[in-house]
């Protein structure tokens, strides 16, 4: 009989996080003995009633485990899982539920959770950019999430960040949670037609004149994402660079943020040799931008795993910030260049491995000190064709060796097999 795995990534509670992000949907490849369900059925009144009973059971369970915590805090936590989303899960009749990034379940059915940063476990009460100086272990949500993760119905936790895998037990001071943690390296793969284009572009890069840089905003192209990915610093650094090296070009794959008013758009469009690509692109066209670029810029406050690895796999020499998590994928001077200045200013880990972040400095003004570091790295690659070529080859080889899609899918599949075996024994 097929084992029914429900991925509730298109339910209302997950939509605000990007929901069915390509990183996660890449796991749902056909696997013998499994039925993956991504589109959940519309719940009936009966499903809502079952979900309500599961919600109440979670409240009673947490209140019993944490008797000194105000019941209002427990109720608020349970309600943050969203009743409608949980009713959809009930309607899908899972053998196993797989939320990602956040334990957005009532937790009364077996569940397995892939994560990236440990910070997201505490959503919506704690979130990116608002955790600077937070002592997470003193918060009610830390105790509530700890109880959920220690529950026997939480069968496993996987992460593609070694940091999260190693620190989750320490963060929660729990050997039981640590024993549930598994490291599964993230992997990517291109369809054959795109893979052929990648190889063709790699063969012609050495013959190109000048140096073309690429900056990409998030898929949704929100104004704030432009800032947090380092768009302000990328434009400022390129403006200085192109004045000294007029053969350089910048592809800006982003809408121009409206949050700074019309003057900023005039400024962005006034910089020589900037090509603004502000329409939504098909995946193949986005990859086309990576292939046109000699250098990919990721001067962000945080980790953007998919963009980073896609750029490296496409053979673009990469300049990244020193944001937490980057060092697991890119080594300065070997597989790319790292511009220092984000770590400790906008993002850092505390002693428990919890991500402290503040975006306030960047939302007020661009970072001139970091811009200088970024400019230095950009100029270095603009004038040194041999270094560009070496980093291009090394980055591409690193992804092929360490981040192939097969090991990502098989690692998750092996974890599913382990959980299924335990549930059916």
The distance from CA 129 to its chain's CA centroid, rounded to whole angstroms, is 14
Question: Is it the case that residue 220 has pLDDT exceeding 70?
Answer: no
Sorting pLDDT into bands at 50, 70 and 90, what band is 21? Answer: confident
Q: Virtual CA dihedral for 13, 15, 18, 23, nearest 10 degrees?
A: 70
Question: Is it the case that residue 141 has pLDDT exceeding 80?
Answer: yes
pLDDT tens per residue, range 65-94? 999 999 999 999 999 999 999 999 999 999
At 98, give phi and psi (nearest 5°). Answer: -125, 85
What's the mean per-residue pLDDT of the chain? 95
Predicted pLDDT of residue 142: 98
Q: With CA atoms as reference, report the closest residue to 157 among 192, 120, 188, 197.
A: 120
Predicted pLDDT of residue 185: 96
Sorting pLDDT into bands at 50, 70 and 90, what band is 194? Answer: very high
* Helix/strand/coil for 72: helix
Mean pLDDT calculated for residue range 130-139: 96
Question: Is it the case that residue 222 has pLDDT exceeding 80?
Answer: no
Predicted pLDDT of residue 112: 98
pLDDT tens per residue, range 279-292? 888 899 999 999 99
| Tokens (6 digits) for 263 | 């003057």
Mean pLDDT calculated for residue range 105-114: 97
Question: Is it the case that residue 411 has pLDDT exceeding 70?
Answer: yes
Cα–Cα distances in angstroms (integers) from residue 208 to residues 212, 239, 292, 387, in the given order: 9, 21, 10, 14
* Helix/strand/coil for 322: coil
Question: Is it the case that residue 64 has pLDDT exceeding 70?
Answer: yes
Beta-bridge mates of residue 113: 157
List of domains in the chain: 3-187+406-424 (3.40.50), 192-403 (3.40.50.2000)
Question: Is it the case that residue 260 has pLDDT exceeding 90?
Answer: no
The residue behind tokens 């119905």 is 153
């Amino acid at each position: 009989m097929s084992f029914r795995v429900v991925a509730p990534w298109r339910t209302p509670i997950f939509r605000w996080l990007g929901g069915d992000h390509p990183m996660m949907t890449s796991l749902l490849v056909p696997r013998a003995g499994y039925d993956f369900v991504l589109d959940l059925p519309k719940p009936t009144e009966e499903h809502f009633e079952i979900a309500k009973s599961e919600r109440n059971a979670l409240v009673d369970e947490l209140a019993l485990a944490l008797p000194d915590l105000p019941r209002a805090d427990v109720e608020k936590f349970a309600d943050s899982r969203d009743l409608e989303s949980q009713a959809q899960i009930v309607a899908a009749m899972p053998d196993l539920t797989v939320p990602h990034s956040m334990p957005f379940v009532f937790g009364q059915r077996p569940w397995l959770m892939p994560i990236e940063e440990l910070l997201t476990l505490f959503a919506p009460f704690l979130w990116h950019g608002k955790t600077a100086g937070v002592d997470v272990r003193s918060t009610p949500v830390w105790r509530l999430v700890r109880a959920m993760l220690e529950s026997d119905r939480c069968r496993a936790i996987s992460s593609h960040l070694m940091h999260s895998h190693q620190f989750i037990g320490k963060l929660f001071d729990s050997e039981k949670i640590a024993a549930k943690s598994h490291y599964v390296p993230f992997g990517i793969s291109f369809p054959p037609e795109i893979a052929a284009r990648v190889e063709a572009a790699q063969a012609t890069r050495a013959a190109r004149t000048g140096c073309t840089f690429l900056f990409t905003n998030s898929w949704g192209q929100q104004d704030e994402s432009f800032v947090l990915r380092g768009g302000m610093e990328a434009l400022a650094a390129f403006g200085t660079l192109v004045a000294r090296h007029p053969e350089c070009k910048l592809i800006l794959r982003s809408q121009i943020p409206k949050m700074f008013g019309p003057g900023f758009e005039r400024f962005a469009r006034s910089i020589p040799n900037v090509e603004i690509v502000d329409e939504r692109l098909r995946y193949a066209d986005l990859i086309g931008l990576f292939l046109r670029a000699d250098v990919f810029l990721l001067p962000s406050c945080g980790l953007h795993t998919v963009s980073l690895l896609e750029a490296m796999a496409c053979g673009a020499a990469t300049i990244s910030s020193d944001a937490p998590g980057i060092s697991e994928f890119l080594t300065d001077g070997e597989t790319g260049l790292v511009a220092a200045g984000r770590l400790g200013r906008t993002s850092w880990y505390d002693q428990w491995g919890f991500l402290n972040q503040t975006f306030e400095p960047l939302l007020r003004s661009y970072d001139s000190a970091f811009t200088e570091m970024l400019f230095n790295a950009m100029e270095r690659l603009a004038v040194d064709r041999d270094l560009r070529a070496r980093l291009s080859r090394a980055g591409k080889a690193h992804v092929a060796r360490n981040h192939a899609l097969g090991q990502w899918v098989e690692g998750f599949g092996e974890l599913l097999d382990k959980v299924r075996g335990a549930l059916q024994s």
